[in-house]
Amino acid sequence: MGGNQDISEALQADVVQAAESGQQLCLQGGRSKDFYGRELIGEPFDLNQHRGIVDYEPTELVITARGGTPLTEIEAALTAQHQMLPFEPPHFTEASTIGGAIASGLSGPRRPWFGAPRDLLLGIKLLDGRGQILNFGGQVMKNVAGYDLSRLMAGSLGTLGILLEVSIKVLPLPPQETTLLFEADTENAHAITQRMCLDATPISGSCHMDGQLHIRLECDETRVLQLRNRFGGELVEDAEIFWRALRDQQFAFFQTDVPLWRLSMPPAADFQLPGKQLIEWGGALRWFKGDHSMEAIRSAVSATGGHAILFLNGDRSGEIFHPLNPTIALLHQRLKKVFDPKFIFNPGRLYPE
């Protein structure tokens, strides 16, 4: 375990060979996300030995690391400099890697206010399906030279190529964090969150579940006092544990064998389908369990302008991700061919090919 090693040449040789023989590869970082996406197909292809922080200068607000670097290692390096990964990536196991976190594109409670992997990814070194090593973007904050192919990789679930290196924008840790707890039904919870957002309150997390609303704030005591005078709310001790458990889906709500849906929609959307909901991101992210057909859920979410992912359980060979409009689906196929002409990487993980 541990260490800092560059095995890009070996990975490259393997990919070249796979492309020649047509061997399909199932890219694996820490494998903490095997449950996510469509079923796994292909020869397991281990990326977590290609690891280590390549460059980190706190005043540049950028960290560059190899894809197989464990998130814990990156977070430890950042914490030592009072900085953080702003998208607050979920990681259940010690094994979760930065490559996997970017490739899955998932973010934690901070997302609406600080961005997702796609917002913070500045540059990549990519191993494509021909075995070419390519550089896109860079380590600077602003870069519009050429198409933004780095951000395109965020959330692509390894279907376009292997992230050998990623450069990510980082931010200072907030000096203070406070969590307030409100007893509130869905409607009230929404009203409180929305009012706070419109008042430019420095929120960095919201969670509504079982009649309780937690709001995480990044401001000093004076501001917290003003907010409590206005909205009420109890101070929560040791709130870090709560937010970490939410980020890593440790709550009983998530321990389930029924289909768990991840619904993404406008924060104020009026979503009335009966079922159990856990609402994050000021309303923009809703975890949903309910006895409805896939079509019923998808059409209710589509009506709000959002989309639905069958996140956990259910039929993993079916339509896990929201179906695409035919023109967009065609663009997906063409882009897949650009990066992976032999279709060797993670076949069908995102959509059937």
Ligand X SMILES: Cc1cc2nc3c(=O)[nH]c(=O)nc-3n(C[C@H](O)[C@H](O)[C@H](O)COP(=O)(O)OP(=O)(O)OC[C@H]3O[C@@H](n4cnc5c(N)ncnc54)[C@H](O)[C@@H]3O)c2cc1C
* Residue 277: CB minimum distance to ligand X, A: 15
Number of residues that bind ligand X (CB under 6 A): 33
For tokens 């990487």, what's the residue? 345
Binding status of residue 99 toward ligand X by CB under 6 A: yes
* Residue 108: CB minimum distance to ligand X, A: 7
Instruction: Work out what residue 321 binds among other proteins, ligand X, none; the CB cut-off runs from 5 to 8 Å by kind.
Output: other proteins
Measured CA to CA, the distance from residue 113 to residue 221 in angstroms comes to 21
Instruction: Work out what residue 96 binds among other proteins, ligand X, none; the CB cut-off runs from 5 to 8 Å by kind.
Output: ligand X
* Residue 199: CB minimum distance to ligand X, A: 29
Residues 89 and 71: beta-carbon distance below 8 Å: yes
Binding status of residue 121 toward ligand X by CB under 6 A: no
Binding status of residue 150 toward ligand X by CB under 6 A: no
Select the residue interacting with ligand X from 96, 150, 179, 201 (CB under 6 A).
Answer: 96
DSSP conformation letters of 122-188: EEEEEE-TTS-EEEEE-SSS---SS--HHHHHTTSTTSS-EEEEEEEE-EEPPS--EEEEEE--HHH
**186-198 vs 221-231: helix crossing angle, rounded to 10:** 140
* Residue 70: CB minimum distance to ligand X, A: 8
Residues 257 and 313: beta-carbon distance below 8 Å: yes
Pick the closer one to ligand X by CB: 111 or 298: 111
- Rounded to 5 degrees, φ, ψ at 126 are -120, 140
Instruction: Work out what residue 202 binds among ligand X, other proteins, none; the CB cut-off runs from 5 to 8 Å by kind.
Output: other proteins
The residues, ordered by sequence, that sit 6+ positions from 207 with a Cβ below 8 Å of its Cβ are: 109, 213, 214, 242, 246, 278, 279, 280
Strands 234-235 and 178-183: antiparallel
Select the residue interacting with other proteins from 20, 43, 220, 240 (CB under 8 A).
Answer: 220
Sign of CA pseudo-dihedral 99, 105, 108, 113: positive
Q: Which stretch binds other proteins (CB under 8 A): 35-43, 66-74, 193-201, 243-251?
A: 193-201
User: Considering all CA atoms of the chain, what is the largest pairwise distance in Å, rounded to the nearest integer?
Assistant: 68
Q: Which of 196, 200, 225, 229 is nearest to 213 (CA)?
A: 196
Q: Which stretch binds other proteins (CB under 8 A): 11-19, 37-45, 68-76, 129-137?
A: 129-137
Number of residues that bind other proteins (CB under 8 A): 82
Window 235 to 274, contacts with other proteins (CB under 8 A) = 263-269
* Residue 232: CB minimum distance to ligand X, A: 30
Residues that bind ligand X in the complex, under the rule CB under 6 A: 27-34, 37, 47, 67, 71, 89-93, 95-97, 99-101, 103-104, 106, 157-158, 162-163, 249, 346, 349
